[in-house]
Homo-oligomer: A and B are copies of this chain.
Amino acid sequence: MTTKIYKGNCPVIDALTIIGGKWKLPLLWHLANNQSGIRYNALKRKLDGITNIMLTRSLRELEEDGLVTRVQYPEIPPHVNYSLTEQGEKLIPALLTIKEWGEQLQESKNDWGKKASSHS
């Protein structure tokens, strides 16, 4: 994936396709931590290693998918602000669910299945 496969058939796949790019999650994460919005270059600094084109692409796609709002102030110098939409905000709790599962998975990969008999 993040190749689109069963178009429209499955909301889960749709969702994962939307957030499936390499930078989408980090991007959403930083946007979630800046509810007042954040500027392009600030975003770029936080996402260490991202190039202009990847940042622009990712932002555009998230915008088209209705997760991100872009507000442009026609000033000199230019000023563009990005923030999560309501739909974008709603995604965060879902991601936290996944996060917990991922943490459980990492724990279970450590050996501790054997020594756990102390709490019963």
Contact with B along A5-23 (1 / 0, CB 8 A): 1100011111110111110
Enumerate chain A interface residues (CB-CB to B < 8 A): 1-3, 5-6, 10-16, 18-22, 25-26, 65-66, 87, 90-91, 93-95, 97-106, 108-109
A3 and B22 form a contact (CB under 8 A): yes
Contact flag A12-B102 (CB < 8 Å), given A2-B1, A21-B1, A22-B1: yes
B25 and A99 form a contact (CB under 8 A): no
Pick the contact of A2 from B2, B98, B102 — CB < 8 Å?
B2
- Residues of chain B within 8 A (CB-CB) of A12 are 25, 95, 98-99, 102
Min CB–CB distance A21 → chain B (angstroms): 6
